[in-house]
Structure 1
Amino acid sequence: MTRYIRHACAFCALLLLALLVNAARVQVVDSAALDGNPANRRDAIARYAQPRGDILVDGRPVTGSKDTGEQLRYERTYRNGPLYAPVTGFASQLYGTTFLENAEDGVLSGTDPMLAPLPLWNDFTRARNPGGKVETTIQGAAQRAAYSALGGKRGAVAAVEPATGKILALVSTPSYDPERLSGTGRSVAKAWTTLNGGRDKPMLNRAIRRTYPPGSTFKVVTAAAALDSGTVTDPDAPTKSPAPYTLPGTNTKLNNEVEGCTDASLRHAFKWSCNTVFAKLGVDTGPGPMADTARKFGFNDSGLRIPSPVSASYFDTSLDKAQLALSAIGQYETRATPLQMAMVAAAVANGGSLKTPYLVERTTTDDGDVVAAAGPRTVRQAISPGTAARLREMMREVVEKGTGANAAVPGATVGGKTGTAQHGIDNAGTPYAWFVSWAQAPKDPEPSVAVAVVVENASADRGDISGGGSAAPVAKAVMEAVLKSPRRDGL
């Protein structure tokens, strides 16, 4: 009898061991697969069981969370959602996350291991920390000024602090309210369909996700290449440029919108945006130096993150002379995001040094302990300090004496470059109006802000559309807001 009891006890112990081994297999070996199974709602329920952390502008939250009492309990809310949508993106229970809501999801949702009190603590406890906070570099005043100045037109604004790379404004219009995508009801699905089917594409982040032909604003890059390569040594010397200019190897003649461009100096051509001078200058400089200078400013970089991915701006590196001539004036296949052109202006303003643009100042726990902090980081010396100084001088003259007068800020030193970019089949589309600029307050040793503005549908007759008329006033509003902001002094 005793022998049978011993056998039964051993068999029960074996069964218990098998149960423990299987439980360990399920919880350790198969946990990742089970967590990722679409039928497993536990992660979603846990994710929305607590408020999401906030995204901050000027130290104040522009996001929030609402308790619905439903199974997916907390829904995302937004304060002034259309204004900050290009920064925050959306956090939707049906459609996922975008922009900062996506790039910083670990911190905001509380799943980032850096939020845990001890290393690997959450792996053992399966606990979820309270959502952390994401402090942005955005200046609310600059963001509001850009949004208001665009006035609902299709377009975008990017503003950068030249010395650090901080993004001070990131606006895309028309915009949308991300809160319309929070929740799980029919209204959310309807809003998704409406927003994605809208002709004006309100969910498209034009500041970082759309590339445009930069038009004459690209002449900043062409002038930099010509000066740095030694093609031009004296900005005031005649350039031996005919007007009109026949594109090499073709019978196509390139004309100007202004008079006085024949054999004009680089300074005069820059001030009045002479196409013929810059087209020939691009050919004279050559494809190598042109492509290298564009690369140094950030073109053809598919890895830029702010931390959201930025669409790569493009400069063709295999061009014949006619194509190079058109590329040198920001046409042909040349494409740029507004953020890229703000980086060009910022590098010129910063003595030729290009800083990595960034949107997140720091991330913290829910009670304010710093998880990670950003800081200035130099990408490269895009152009020599001497070339940068000459370009700053020429950009000042554009605003003080040339086509960019509408960007002048009383009491400040402002440099800029206008641009009007043709596009569409046979250039039939409404031209894009561009303006890139930087501004320096009287008491500041260096410029405090660099701005790029593009307006897709300027409200003017086609022949009257210009960067100086349509985009420069927007840049002026943003520069004024930054120069007046107390945050510029570190407050």
Structure 2
Amino acid sequence: MTRHIRHAALFCLLLLAALLVSAVRVQIVRAGSYDDNPANRRASIARYGQPRGDVLVGGAPVTGSRDTKEQLRYERTYPDGPLYAPVTGFASQAYGTTFLEHAEDGILSGTDPMLAPFPLLSGLTHARARGGDVVTTINRSAQEAAYEGLEGRKGAVAALDPATGRILALVTSPSYDPAELSGNGLPAMRAWARLNADPDKPMLNRAVRQTYPPGSTFKVVTAAAALDAGVVTDLDAPTDSPDPYRLPGTTTRLTNEGDGCADASLRSAFEWSCNTVFAKLGVDVGVDRMASTASGFGFNDTSLRIPYSAVRSTFDTQVDKAQLGLSSIGQYNTRATPLQMAMVAAAVADGGQVREPYLVERTVRRGGETVATTGPRPVRQAMRPGTAALMKELMTDVVTEGTGRNAAIPGAVVGGKTGTAQHGVGNTGTPYAWFVSWAQGDDDVQPRVAVAVVVEDASAHRGEITGGGFAAPIARAVMRAVLDS
């Protein structure tokens, strides 16, 4: 009898061992595959089982969470969705996350280990902390001024604090309401299909994810390169610049919109945007120095993140002299985002220094305790401080005496540069209207804001579209909003 009991006990031990082996296989060896299985909804249920943290602008949330009482309980809400869509992006139960909702998902969803009061215990229990908040650098008044200024026209605005790199405004138009994509039902599916099929691409972040030929606004870079290289030493001395200018090695003759550009000084050529002068200056500087200066401003940089990625602005380094001439006036293969051109204006305003732009000031726990702050940002010198001082003088002249008078602000010093960029086959497309600028209040020690504006579909006769007429008033409104803050 005892022998049978021993056999039964041994058999039970074997069964127990088999059960333990199976449990280890399921819970440890195969855990990853089960977690990643689309049929496993536990992760989604946990993710949406509590309210998401918020994105804050000026201390107030521009996002929220709505209790649906369904299995995936909380959906994202956006009180001012179209206004802040280029900043927040969307958080969708069906289509994932974009922009800050994606870059700061760990904080917002509560999965970041830094949010846990007892990280080791939370790691063992897999407990989810309450979602934290993301404090942005956005200036609410500047954001609203940019959005209202575009009035639904295709285009974008980017504004920076030159002294720090803080992004003060980031607007794209036309925009959309991210709340339409928050759920996982039929309305979200229809909104997704409609937005993706829209030829105006309302979900495209034109401020950081779309490049344009910068046109004459790129002459800021060309002028800086010419001054740094010593090709120009006196702003008021005549330049050796024929009008028209024959592009080297070709029969193509480059002309200007107005008169008075033949051998014009750099000051006069900058005020009235003489293509012939700047194309020849670019050729005289040479491709290596032009490329080096453009790179210093941020062109051809593939690593820029704000914290989500920005598309690369380009200055072609493999060009002949004719192509270099066109590149130097913001045409040919030269392309830039509005954020990049705001960086160019900010560098002039800050003594030639380019500060890497950033959108997140700090992240905090739900109660307001700081989790992380934005550390020192990389700084590079795009031009000599003396050159930057001369460029400030040239840009100020554009607003006081040249093509940028619509950007003038009483009681402030404003510098700017207009641009009208041709594009399309044979330059038949409606020109893009550009304006880049900076502003300093009378009581300010240094400029407080730098802005870039591009308007794609300015509603006027093609020949009447200018950066000074269409983009400069928008930049003025944004700069005034910051100065008045």
The answer to whether TM tops 0.5 is yes
1:229 Cα deviation (Å)? Answer: 1.2
After superposition, where does 1:316-327 map in structure 2 within 5 Å? Answer: 316-327=316-327
Q: Which amino acid aligns with 1:300?
A: N
After superposition, where does 1:285-434 map in structure 2 within 5 Å? Answer: 285-434=285-434
- Residue-by-residue CA offset, 1:301-352 (whole Å, 9 max, x unaligned): 1111001110000000010000000000000000000000000111110101
Report the secondary structure of 1:70's partner residue. Answer: coil
- Which residue is 2:235 aligned to? 235
- Which residue is 2:207 aligned to? 207
1:19 Cα deviation (Å)? Answer: 2.1
CA distance in 2, matches of 1:461, 1:206: 24
- Which residue is 2:67 aligned to? 67
Q: Which amino acid aligns with 2:294?
A: A
8 Å Cα contact 1:164-1:376 kept in structure 2: no
CA distance in 1, matches of 2:190, 2:464: 39
1:116 Cα deviation (Å)? Answer: 1.4
Task: Write out the 4+ residue segments of structure 1 that deviate beyond 3 Å after TM superposition.
Answer: none
Report the secondary structure of 1:347's partner residue. Answer: helix
Consecutive unaligned residues of structure 1, counting only runs of 5 or more, are 486-491
- Residue-by-residue CA offset, 1:170-190 (whole Å, 9 max, x unaligned): 000010000011112211111
1:8 Cα deviation (Å)? Answer: 2.3
- Residue-by-residue CA offset, 1:171-219 (whole Å, 9 max, x unaligned): 0001000001111221111111111111211111100000000000000
8 Å Cα contact 1:238-1:265 kept in structure 2: yes
CA distance in 2, matches of 1:353, 1:25: 57
1:29 Cα deviation (Å)? Answer: 3.1
After superposition, where does 1:63-102 map in structure 2 within 5 Å? Answer: 63-102=63-102
8 Å Cα contact 1:269-1:277 kept in structure 2: yes
- Residue-by-residue CA offset, 1:244-264 (whole Å, 9 max, x unaligned): 101111111111112111001
1:379 Cα deviation (Å)? Answer: 2.9
Q: Which amino acid aligns with 2:314?
A: Y
8 Å Cα contact 1:113-1:120 kept in structure 2: no
1:28 Cα deviation (Å)? Answer: 2.8
- Residue-by-residue CA offset, 1:352-395 (whole Å, 9 max, x unaligned): 11111000011111122211110441331111101100000100
2:266 is the counterpart of 1:266: yes
Report the secondary structure of 1:390's partner residue. Answer: helix
1:123 Cα deviation (Å)? Answer: 2.5
Q: Which amino acid aligns with 2:121?
A: W
CA distance in 2, matches of 1:439, 1:151: 23
1:33 Cα deviation (Å)? Answer: 2.3
After superposition, where does 1:159-174 map in structure 2 within 5 Å? Answer: 159-174=159-174
CA distance in 2, matches of 1:21, 1:116: 32
Q: Which amino acid aligns with 1:467?
A: G
Q: Which amino acid aligns with 1:222?
A: T
- Which residue is 1:222 aligned to? 222
Report the secondary structure of 2:117's partner residue. Answer: coil
Report the secondary structure of 1:120's partner residue. Answer: helix
8 Å Cα contact 1:353-1:378 kept in structure 2: no
CA distance in 1, matches of 2:409, 2:31: 60
Q: Which amino acid aligns with 2:18?
A: A
Q: Which amino acid aligns with 2:21?
A: V
- Which residue is 1:488 aligned to? none
- Which residue is 1:51 aligned to? 51
Q: Which amino acid aligns with 1:211?
A: T
CA distance in 2, matches of 1:287, 1:135: 42
CA distance in 1, matches of 2:116, 2:15: 37
1:466 Cα deviation (Å)? Answer: 0.3
- Which residue is 2:112 aligned to? 112
CA distance in 1, matches of 2:344, 2:259: 28
1:6 Cα deviation (Å)? Answer: 2.5
2:20 is the counterpart of 1:13: no
Q: Which amino acid aligns with 2:255?
A: N
Report the secondary structure of 1:248's partner residue. Answer: coil
CA distance in 2, matches of 1:23, 1:364: 39
1:15 Cα deviation (Å)? Answer: 2.4
- Which residue is 1:181 aligned to? 181
Report the secondary structure of 1:188's partner residue. Answer: helix
- Residue-by-residue CA offset, 1:232-252 (whole Å, 9 max, x unaligned): 111211111000101111111
CA distance in 2, matches of 1:258, 1:74: 60
- Residue-by-residue CA offset, 1:436-486 (whole Å, 9 max, x unaligned): 00000111111000000000001111000000000000000000000011x
1:128 Cα deviation (Å)? Answer: 1.0
Q: Which amino acid aligns with 2:82?
A: P
After superposition, where does 1:118-133 map in structure 2 within 5 Å? Answer: 118-133=118-133
Q: Which amino acid aligns with 1:20?
A: L
Report the secondary structure of 1:207's partner residue. Answer: helix
Over the matched positions of the two proteins, sequence identity in percent amounts to 70
CA distance in 1, matches of 2:378, 2:446: 17
CA distance in 2, matches of 1:8, 1:249: 98
CA distance in 1, matches of 2:73, 2:231: 65
Q: Which amino acid aligns with 1:433?
A: A
- Which residue is 1:144 aligned to? 144
2:240 is the counterpart of 1:247: no
- Residue-by-residue CA offset, 1:22-81 (whole Å, 9 max, x unaligned): 323322333222211112111111111111110000010000000111111111000110
CA distance in 1, matches of 2:18, 2:392: 76
Aligned length: 485
- Which residue is 2:442 aligned to? 442
Judging changes above 3 Å, is the alpha-carbon distance between structure 1 residues 375 and 478 closer, same or farther for their aligned structure 2 residues? Answer: farther
CA distance in 2, matches of 1:379, 1:263: 36
1:137 Cα deviation (Å)? Answer: 0.4
Q: Which amino acid aligns with 1:430?
A: T
8 Å Cα contact 1:342-1:452 kept in structure 2: yes
Consecutive unaligned residues of structure 2, counting only runs of 5 or more, are none
Q: Which amino acid aligns with 2:293?
A: T
CA distance in 2, matches of 1:306, 1:10: 64
Report the secondary structure of 1:170's partner residue. Answer: strand
- Which residue is 2:479 aligned to? 479
8 Å Cα contact 1:419-1:435 kept in structure 2: yes
8 Å Cα contact 1:355-1:376 kept in structure 2: no
TM-score (norm 2): 0.98
TM-score (norm 1): 0.97
